[in-house]
Structures are given as C-alpha cells and as structure tokens.
Chains A and B, each alone.
Chain A
Amino acid sequence: MTVIDIESRMAEPVDDEPRAIDPGLSREDKIFHGSVRSIGFFVLIVFGSIGVFLGYQSIPTFSHYGFSFLTETQWNPELDQVGIAAVIVGTFQVALVAIVVSLPLALLTALYISEYAPQRLKSSLVSLVDLMAAIPSIVYGAWGFAFLQEHAKYVARWLSQYLGWIPFFSVDTDPNAALWAQTQFTASAFIAGLAVAMMTIPMACAVMRGVFAQAPVGEREAAVALGATRWGVIRSVVLPFGRGGIIGGSMLGLGRALGETIAVLLIISPAYDIKWSVVEVGTQTTSSLIAGLFGEATSFQLSALLTAGFVLFIITLVVNMIAAVFVGRSRSGSITEA
C-alpha cells in the first residue's frame, strides 16, 4: 500500500526551480542536426579545399619561376620558359568578345520577353531561354566550329578591311586581295568569343528578365498615365530599376566566359603571343591550355598547369562575387528606395 504522505511533503519547503523553456534538442534531433551539419561541413571542406589545393600546388611553380610566370608569354617547358601572360590576355579577349556580343543581345531579348512579347508566348519564351542555357557547350562548340566559322570569317575580314586601323581588327595580310587568305581570319578569339556568347546570352538574359519582371507596376502605370510610349516606360522605369540586374547578369556571363573550355578548345588554334588583334588566327585561353596539355604533362609541368588553373580560379571567383553582390542587391529591391 502506498500512501503518499502529503502533510510531510508540504511541510518541508521545496526550492522552486524554473523549468527551462527551451528543453534543448531531443536525441533524435541531435542526431539529425549532427548529421546534416557534418554534411554541410564536409561540402564546405571539400569545396574550400579545391581553392587551397590549387594554391598549394602552385607554390613550386611560383618559387621556380617567380614573378616571370605572370609576365612570360611562351609556354615552352623544354626550354624552361613557362608563363601565362599571353594565355591570360587570350582568356580575356575571348571573354570580352563574348560579353560585347552577348550583352546587347541578352538585354534586347530580356526586354522583348518582359515588355514586347504577347502575353501567351511569354512563358514559352522563358522556357526557351532556359533550354538554351541547358544545351551542352560541346554542341555550341560544334556549331561554332563547323557552321559559324564559315560565315563569321567574312565579318572578320570586313572588320579588318574597314576598321583595320584599330589594333583589335588588324590582320597581318591583305584583306582586299582577290584571293584573300581565308585561314588568317579563322580559329580566332573573335570566332571563339561568338560561340561562347551563345552560352552567356541565356545566363545573362535570365537574370535580366527576372529583374525587369520585378519593376514596380505602380511606376509603370504612372509612366503610361503620363503618356509614355512603350519605349518611354522602358527608359524611365524598367532600365533604371533593372540596372543592378543588367550589371550582375553580365558579370555572371563574364565569369562563365572566362572559364569556358570545350567550345574554345574546338575552335581556336593555339598561339602563345600577346597580340591586340582578336580577328587574326590563333590565340590561347587558360582553360583550353589546361585541357590541351594536361595529358602529356610531367609532374612539374602539371604544377605549372595547376598554377594557371589557380590564377583562373581567383579571377572567376572575384568576377562571380562582384556579380553576386549586384544580383543580390537588385533582387532585394533596395534600388527602388534609392
């Protein structure tokens, strides 16, 4: 028989202990948090280690060549002449051609989809741009290599005929000759840049369109009510509102263009000298250098390639971070308050 002696328990005062409002995690949740956190940190470590690893691998190269690795143009491991100056210039030339071509096209396409396209076509056009982004780069490379090059060399020749006094378009041959040297105008940074532009257009366009679609309806209607034409609405509301998206989208495209490998590898013929001209045959980019040479590289040459990769990594990281700042800012809508 158990009788609880209430009287005696009441008699002695018990200290009131406040119960914790947050009882802490149950065992189940501790396991859950622990496992998810370890996945998160695993990913953090693996991906963080890529950067650290590339940096670590490039120490022997930098200690051997020193600063001349960044200023030497030739890639001649046999002569112990290795540097990435020409390769970096080529990387930026291809990327700049891609951006110069894709920025206006992406902007116009984004404007068309958000402002001009018939309402019922809009969602299909958005899907089409997404699909364009999903097409593998090797397909664009094949297109650029086998189709675009045939047509673009005439444009390259025209550029050097009439704008040859600009160093970007000068070619060391006579473009006016009846039998003009067609091969001098192929396999260039210009044509590779055009193919890469096909990949950067959908990326930049998707970002820009997303930002344009968020332009405040009230301000659009105000512009229309004041008698603005469609272009007037775009100029006074959509473009100022979407400025961050335009810059951010272009920077994202630039990041992609700097790292693109296969399309460039297919189109260009490698050449290791710094030159202004983008329409003349021959150039080299960092990623296509790695793709072309890693196979027969000795361990020391591999270290040099990894160093080139490290430089590329740093460049794309900076470009992408700038892009993220602009895209994030325009999405949070802070520009409307300004």
Chain B
Amino acid sequence: MTVTLERSVRQDPPADGPDPVDTPRTVGGRTRDDVFSLAGSAAGSLALTWLVFTIILGWTGRLGFVIVWFIVFAALYAAVTSWTNPRIAVVDRLASALVTAGAATVGIALASTVIFTVVNGIDALTHINFYTDDMAGVAPRDPLTQGGILHAIVGSFIMVGIATVVSLPLGVGTAIYITEVGSRGGKWVRTVVEAMIGLPDILAGLFVYVTLILALGTQRSGFAAGMALAIMMTPIIARSAEVQLRVVPGGLREAGLALGATRWRTVKGIVVPTAKAGLATALILGIARAVGETAPVLITSGASTFLNFNPLSEPMNSLPLFILFALRSGQPVYIERGFGAAVVLLGIVLALFVMARMLAKNRMSR
C-alpha cells in the first residue's frame, strides 16, 4: 500500500508579474580587472625586458631572458594590482603567479626532455632495420640503414625477466611476512627494506660485480645484470606490496579465520586476491624502474654488439647501456641511434606506466 504524501510545495508565481529567472552567480572565475592586469603586465614586461636585456645591457641566452622576464613581470603585476587592490590581494596575485610559473617550469622541462629525445631519435626510428638488426659488424660511422638495437631490446627483456623472476617472490614474500606474520622480526625486515630503497643504484651493481663476478669467477653476463636489477627491484616491490596488503580490511581476514580457514588459506584465498590489482601495479612500477637502470647494468653485463639470447655466457647489451655508449661515442650518427633507443626505452616505460594506471583505476571503480 502506498500513501501519497506528495503535496504541492511549490507556489505558483503570481500570474501578473514577470517570471523571475534564477541565474546562479558564478563563484570564483576572473574579473575583467584580473584579466587585463595579467595580460597588460605580461605584454609590458616582455617589451621592457627585451629593451633592457637585449638592447641596453646586451645580454644573451634564452634561459636568462625568460628568468628576467618573469622577474620584471612580477614587479609590474604587483604595481598594477596595487593601484586598485589592497595589499592582501597583491600578495595573493603574486603568489599565484609564482606558483603557476613554478609548475609551468617543471612542465616545460619535462616536455622539453621528451620532445628533445623524440626529435633527435626520429631519424633512426623510421628505419625498419633499427628494430630488426643488431650492431654486429656495423661501424660507428655507418649510416642508419645498417644496424639496429634488437640486441639491446632483447637483452633488456631477458635481464628484466630474470630480475622479475627473482624479485617478485622475494618481494611479495617479504611483504606477506611483514604484514601477515609480523612480530619483532617483521619490524627488522621492514627497516632494512626501507633503508635499501634509497640504496644508490651503482652500489647494487658493485655488490654483484664483486660477489658474483670476481669472487665466483663468472663472466660478465645478462644473468649477473639480472641479479643486480633484482637487488634494486626487491625492496621497491616489497615496500609497495606491503602497502597494498596493509589496506586489505582486517575484517576480511577475521572472517576467513572465523570460518575455520588456516592462516595460509586466508592469505591465499582472501588477502592476496583482494590486493591482486595493487600487487600487479607494484610489480609493473618495479619493472618500469628496473628497465631504465643504467649503473648496475654498466658494471655487471658488459656491452656487446651482437644478439645474445643466453644470459649465462657472453656479455649482453641492454637499452640503457646502448644509449650510454652511443652518447659517449661522439659520432653524430651513433648519437642519433642512441636517441632512437632512448625513445624506445621511453615508450616501454610509458606503456608499463599506462598499464599500471589502468589496473589501479579498475580497482578504484570496482
């Protein structure tokens, strides 16, 4: 049975008066004063800076010009604002100009990094053989129609694969130990893991170089490089996996235990599946970090020019190492190859990053 409680609440407007249209007032936004003082100060300061910086003082350098322009702009903007506004508004406007400029500087620097890399590498990227050949028998001065970076791509994948196989169980196991078993030992492990995240990358390589290569007498190889990368990756995965496991609600664990499941079954059947997307994100970000690490690879793998699928013998090249040697070669064509490889590396990192984002987003919406 439904009872209708609806009642006409709304009062009809008087028939004779015009219907008042409610237009909501916009909160915030810019007034005309805001816009004009901003644009005027920008234009005025540009002209003034050009006059003083370039013509009168005769200074050079684009970076310096922009810095001086901003300082002049800030002064002009403050002066213009103070005609019509109290001091508080002047400070507020200056602060927002400064904050926006700071963020823009970082954005421009980031954009210039990406654009500069792509522009320099584009020539190498348009050749098919760049992806299908290695550098065996290719001289540094040879044109871009010869040779490629297949060996470096393959090497990177093999090394990161080895590092993942080693560090995933270690990292996730450590995280499970810290969150699910805990006790005093867990605190110790956690402290060491946190400290090792900040370990300079070169030291991981050095450690593997001295223990694995010098002490055990093995060659520089893809396996050694994979081990060095695993030392970098394990703490990263352990820490982010620990964060993901810790946010699994305690109620879920207790429900599992109350139903009579053992702790192992609770972890396997409830905790890990709940945190699965988060763990995958942690893994992907760890991989993205490892694939770009140069210093450990430089010490442990050795640079080769030929395709090598065997991680246990013969040196194995990788993308970051190829880029390093190409840039230091001093040969324009070789440097171009280096930038091409840098674009490929950037593309891999970006793809991994987007994958991690999508996984995280799915989890949010679930």
Query: Which A residues form the contact surface with B (CB < 8 A)?
Result: 25-26, 28-29, 31-33, 35-37, 39-44, 46-48, 50, 53-54, 57, 104-109, 111-113, 115-117, 127-128, 130-132, 134-143, 145-147, 151-152, 154-155, 157-158, 198, 201, 205, 229-232, 234, 252, 255-256, 258-262, 265-266, 287, 290-291, 294, 299, 302, 305-306, 309, 312-313, 316-317, 319-321, 323-324
Complex CA–CA separation, A198 to B177 (angstroms): 35
Known contacts A28-B265, A154-B60, A317-B198; A36/B173 CB under 8 A: yes
**Residues B325-344 near A (CB distance < 8 A):** 327-328, 335, 338-339, 342
A266 touches B327 (CB 8 A): yes
Complex CA–CA separation, A5 to B130 (angstroms): 91
B207 touches A54 (CB 8 A): yes
A229 touches B181 (CB 8 A): no
Known contacts A39-B169, A43-B238; A198/B112 CB under 8 A: no
In the assembled complex, which residues on chain A have CB atoms less than 8 Å from the CB atom of B177? 36-37, 39-40
CB-based closest 7 A-B pairs: A136-B292, A108-B102, A259-B200, A154-B61, A39-B173, A40-B177, A112-B103
B173 touches A108 (CB 8 A): no
20 additional A-B pairs beyond A25-B262, A198-B110, A294-B299, beta carbons within 8 Å, are A33-B263, A35-B173, A40-B181, A41-B189, A43-B174, A57-B210, A107-B102, A108-B103, A138-B342, A142-B327, A146-B327, A147-B112, A147-B116, A151-B61, A201-B106, A205-B106, A255-B198, A265-B324, A309-B202, A316-B200
B38: Cβ under 8 A from any A Cβ: no
A261 touches B295 (CB 8 A): yes
In the assembled complex, which residues on chain B have CB atoms less than 8 Å from the CB atom of A145? 327
In the assembled complex, which residues on chain A have CB atoms less than 8 Å from the CB atom of B295? 261-262, 287, 291
B120 touches A146 (CB 8 A): yes
A229 touches B89 (CB 8 A): yes
A116 touches B96 (CB 8 A): yes
A136 touches B294 (CB 8 A): yes
In the assembled complex, which residues on chain B have CB atoms less than 8 Å from the CB atom of A291? 202, 295, 298-299
B189 touches A40 (CB 8 A): yes
**Residues B92-133 near A (CB distance < 8 A):** 92, 95-96, 98-103, 105-107, 109-110, 112-113, 116-117, 120
* One of B17-25, B306-314, B349-357 contacting the partner: B349-357
| Chain B nearest Cβ from A154, distance in angstroms | 3
A234 touches B95 (CB 8 A): yes
B193: Cβ under 8 A from any A Cβ: yes
* One of B1-9, B40-48, B248-256, B283-291 contacting the partner: B283-291
12 sampled A-B residue pairs with Cβ under 8 A: A31-B264, A36-B181, A109-B102, A116-B99, A128-B107, A134-B349, A147-B113, A198-B113, A261-B200, A261-B295, A287-B203, A320-B198
Q: Closest A-chain residue to B290, C-beta based?
A: A136
A29 touches B264 (CB 8 A): yes
| Chain B nearest Cβ from A304, distance in angstroms | 12
In the assembled complex, which residues on chain B have CB atoms less than 8 Å from the CB atom of A117? 103
Partner of A131 from B61, B99, B116, B350 at Cβ < 8 Å:
B350
Q: Could you give, for residues 261-303 of chain B, a 1 whenever the CB lies within 8 Å of some chain A CB and a 0 otherwise? A: 0111101000000000000000001001101111100110000
Q: Closest B-chain residue to A287, C-beta based?
A: B202
Q: Could you give, for residues 173-208 of chain B, a 1 whenever the CB lies within 8 Å of some chain A CB and a 0 otherwise? A: 110111011000110110011111111111110110
Complex CA–CA separation, A42 to B328 (angstroms): 39
Partner of A313 from B117, B200, B231, B238 at Cβ < 8 Å:
B200
| Chain B nearest Cβ from A327, distance in angstroms | 10
In the assembled complex, which residues on chain A have CB atoms less than 8 Å from the CB atom of B299? 291, 294
In the assembled complex, which residues on chain B have CB atoms less than 8 Å from the CB atom of A107? 102
B293 touches A33 (CB 8 A): no
Complex CA–CA separation, A117 to B99 (angstroms): 10
| Chain B nearest Cβ from A284, distance in angstroms | 14
B59: Cβ under 8 A from any A Cβ: yes
B100 touches A41 (CB 8 A): no
In the assembled complex, which residues on chain B have CB atoms less than 8 Å from the CB atom of A294? 206, 209, 299
B206 touches A309 (CB 8 A): yes
